[in-house]
């Protein structure tokens, strides 16, 4: 088993945090994992993405030429990556923001109104964790329990309230898909 996921969106949507938290959880489940952030001549308000490879054996390349999963937090991310997704792969679309839909018939599409759900929870910033709730449920790469424990250790000493809202966000995302 080797699964590669690209998380992409606007800078500020917590895209790198999504990948980092998944990588953390995969490590805690004893899996091999690599996390590769995009870097370069970035601009404020521009796009950001990262690639996470999770495997039960040594990972050759941390790059995904054909990602199995693509988490698109904004429209441009869907446009940028839809041609690259592996046949049989899955899109996770932040459907509150992403207006387009993939032009591929050979992939599964999960539409999660992550930004909307986060706003209803009173904290638009947790849209990334809402999305992770849906992602963890659909992919089963890591257990919800491991993910939340990892998230807690990443948030570390921050206010308990921060973990509470993240936990709610995760559950809401988790329950948003069947």
Partner 1 sequence: MDKILISGNWACGEAAIRAGCRFYAGYPITPQNELTEYMAEHMRQAENGTFIQAESEIAAVNMVLGASAAGARAMTSSSSPGISLKQEGISALAADELPAVIVNMMRGGPGLGNILPSQGDYYQATRGGGHGDYRTIVLAPASVQELADLTMEAFDLADAYRNPVMILGDGMTGQMMEPVVFGKPRPRRYSEKYVLKGCGAGKSRFVRGLILDALRMEEHNWKLVRKYNVIAQKEVRFETFRTDNAKLVIIAYGIAARIAKGAINRLRDSGYRVGLIRPITLWPFPAQILRDTAERIGNFLVFEMSTGQMLDDVKLALDGRARVSFYGRPGGVVPTPAELAKAIVQEYQR
- Could you give the CA distance from residue 152 to residue 171 in angstroms, rounded to a whole number? 14
Q: What are phi and psi of 55, to 5 degrees?
A: -155, 160
Neighbours of 142 (CB within 10 A): 24
The correct pick among 7, 35, 92, 135 for binding partner 1 (CB under 8 A) is 35
Could you identify the residue written with the tokens 């706003």? 119
Least distance from partner 1 to the Cβ atom of residue 33, Å = 7
Task: Tell me if 39 contacts partner 1 by CB under 8 A.
Answer: yes
Q: Please identify, using beta-carbon distances, which residue of 58 and 178 lies nearer to partner 1.
A: 58
Task: Tell me if 87 contacts partner 1 by CB under 8 A.
Answer: no
In the Cβ-directed half-sphere of 177, how many Cα atoms lie within 13 Å?
A: 24
The correct pick among 3, 36, 48, 117 for binding partner 1 (CB under 8 A) is 36
Task: Tell me if 37 contacts partner 1 by CB under 8 A.
Answer: yes
Q: Please identify, using beta-carbon distances, which residue of 116 and 149 lies nearer to partner 1.
A: 149
- Could you give the CA distance from residue 147 to residue 132 in angstroms, rounded to a whole number? 9
Q: What track of x and - describes contact with partner 1 for positions 14 through 33 (by CB under 8 A)? A: ------x--xx--x-----x
- Could you give the CA distance from residue 115 to residue 96 in angstroms, rounded to a whole number? 6
Task: Tell me if 60 contacts partner 1 by CB under 8 A.
Answer: yes
């Amino acid at each position: 088993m080797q699964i590669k996921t690209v998380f992409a969106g606007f800078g500020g949507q917590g895209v790198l945090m999504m990948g980092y938290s998944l990588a953390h959880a995969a490590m805690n489940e004893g899996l091999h994992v690599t996390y590769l952030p995009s870097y370069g001549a970035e601009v404020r308000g521009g796009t950001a993405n990262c690639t996470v490879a999770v495997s039960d054996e040594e990972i050759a390349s941390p790059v995904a030429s054909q990602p199995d999963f693509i988490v698109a937090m904004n429209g441009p991310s869907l446009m940028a990556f839809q041609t690259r997704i592996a046949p049989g792969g899955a899109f996770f679309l932040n459907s509150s923001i992403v207006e387009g839909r993939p032009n591929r018939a050979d992939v599964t599409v999960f539409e999660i109104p992550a930004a909307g759900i986060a706003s209803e929870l009173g904290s638009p910033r947790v849209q990334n964790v809402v999305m992770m709730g849906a992602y963890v449920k659909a992919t089963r790469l890591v257990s919800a329990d491991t993910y939340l424990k990892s998230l807690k250790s990443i948030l570390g000493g921050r206010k308990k309230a921060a973990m509470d809202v993240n936990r709610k966000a995760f559950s809401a995302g988790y329950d948003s898909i069947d």
